[in-house]
Structure 1
Amino acid sequence: MTRLFVLRRSVLGAMMVAALAACSTSQPPVTARPVDFSNYAPIMLSVASVNVVDAARIPAGQAAAPVSPSQAVQLWAQQRLRAAGTGGSARVTIKDASLVAVPLQKATSGVKGYFTNDQAMRYDGRIEVEISAEVSGAATHRGSTKAFVTRSTTTAENITPANRDATLQELVSRMMDDLNARLDGGIRKDLSFAVMR
């Protein structure tokens, strides 16, 4: 065995150890905002009750987030809508609350691909909600408003479980930010008869 061959093996071995060490280094933690709407003023409705109905179907490939889209909508209804009347009712119907994991094909092949952390998963989120209200008085008023939001994100193949959870939590939080704005506007426009000023 020549000295040149031994030297090449040593250099190659050192390079592989360095590459594996780079792959296994701890990732900085990803921080995610909690799903929370307590900083918004509640919308006072002239109804006696507000009910939430989860009519969403669970799709194939549904991913598990720390707070699911369905749970986030229920929390939104609890924190944003207030029944302040003596009759009538409002219903929040969750029509879609999906967060689907879609595997991605590895972009880098060969030896380089072995040491490259590609984006391995895409998460597609969609939330659709309909709010209907009926207020009885001298006359009965009925109406409804709808909103839907979509967002996507990707994660690397070496992501830690904690960082994956935080990434999905942030995706749900951003979808709910969008949904909150759309539903707030829709309620004040389409259900103005039920909004107490």
Structure 2
Amino acid sequence: MFVKSLTRIIPFALLLNLTGCSEPKMPEPMGLTYLTQAPLKVDVAHIEVVKKFKSKNQRPHVEHEFPVPPIAMVQQWVHDRFLAVGKSGTMTVTIEDASVVEVVLKGTKGFKGLFTIDQSERYDANVALKIEVTDDAGTSTGFTNASAKGSKSVSENMTLGQRRKVWMNLMEKVLNNLDGEVERNVQTHLGKFLK
């Protein structure tokens, strides 16, 4: 009787052990692919960044918890991708959105939930920009908009350090997509200012 009970308990204990020890799958590092490209040369004397977006600093917004806030990453992207080569005029990049919202996901309920490692949260990132060129008198001579979105979910057994890696991977994806969108829109709507 004791042996029979033991043979039932051991597989159950092993299953619990295997379930608890499984490593969360980490995303492949993406990197900022736009860094391999030459900056866009713009026929203006100055390039300015206006940070219109203000983080709410409370959940479900979590951009303020990122190791590098998304708005700072977008600002750095502007400096990496545009180069002022003209003698007059200003190009202003207004960051209208640089938010990340945490969405709590429903887990597996009941007995099955004890043995399931669920995706517990999804992070939805959104970046939106307005790019405008003005002359020295402040008159607008052209503008365009661009935006990019991305989402990634995390499993409930991820550590804070692992989540931060997911967040950075998410922002790299969004910035790479934003870069492609901006380049297309600038070529289309502000092409006369490119050198």
| Aligned equivalent of 1:159 | 158
2:164 matches 1:171: no
Are residues 1:49 and 2:46 paired? yes
Correspondence 1:33 to 2:30: yes
Q: Whole-Å Cα distance in 2 between the matches of residues 26 and 109 of structure 1?
A: 21
Percent identity between the aligned chains? 27
TM-score by length of 1: 0.84
* 2:179 corresponds to 1:180: yes
Preserved CA contact (<8 Å) 2:30 2:173: no
SS at match of 1:120: strand
Q: TM-score, normalised by structure 2?
A: 0.85
AA paired with 1:12? I
Paired residues of 2:90 and 2:136 also in contact (CA < 8 A): no
Q: Which residue of 2 aligns with 1:191?
A: 190
Partner of 1:142: 141
Listed one character per residue, the Cα deviations across residues 138-182 of structure 1 (whole Å, up to 9, x for unaligned) are xx7611110112221211111233332222111111111111111
Q: Please give the alpha-carbon distance, in whole angstroms, between the structure 2 residues aligned to 1:119 and 1:80.
A: 35
Is the CA contact 2:52–2:95 (under 8 Å) kept in the aligned structure 1?
Answer: yes
**1:28-49 deviation per Cα after TM superposition (whole angstroms, max 9, x unaligned):** 6544233463211111111111
Unaligned runs of 5+ in 1: none
List gaps (5 residues or longer) in structure 2.
none
Match of 1:22 in 2: 19
Q: Which moved more, 1:89-98 or 1:55-64?
A: 55-64
Decide whether the 8 Å contact of 2:24 with 2:155 is kept in 1.
no
2:24–2:157 CA contact under 8 A, matched in 1 = no
SS of 1:90 mapped into structure 2: strand
1:156 and 1:47 map into 2 onto residues whose CA distance is: 47
Against the structure 1 CA distance between its residues 171 and 149, is the aligned structure 2 distance closer, same or farther, given a 3 Å change threshold?
same
CA positional deviation for 1:75: 1.6
1:92 to 1:192, Cα distance in 2 relative to 1, 3 A: same
**Cα distance in 2, alignment partners of residues 27 and 124 from structure 1:** 20
Matching residue of 2:102: 101
How many residue pairs get aligned? The number is: 190
Structure 2 CA distance for aligned equivalents of residues 44 and 135 of structure 1:
17
> Within 1, Cα distance between the matches of 2:97 and 2:43?
27
CA RMSD of aligned residues (A): 2.3
> Which residue in the other structure is 1:88 paired with?
89
Paired with 1:181 and 1:36, the residues of 2 have a C-alpha distance of: 10
Indicate conservation of the 8 Å contact 2:123/2:153, yes or no.
yes
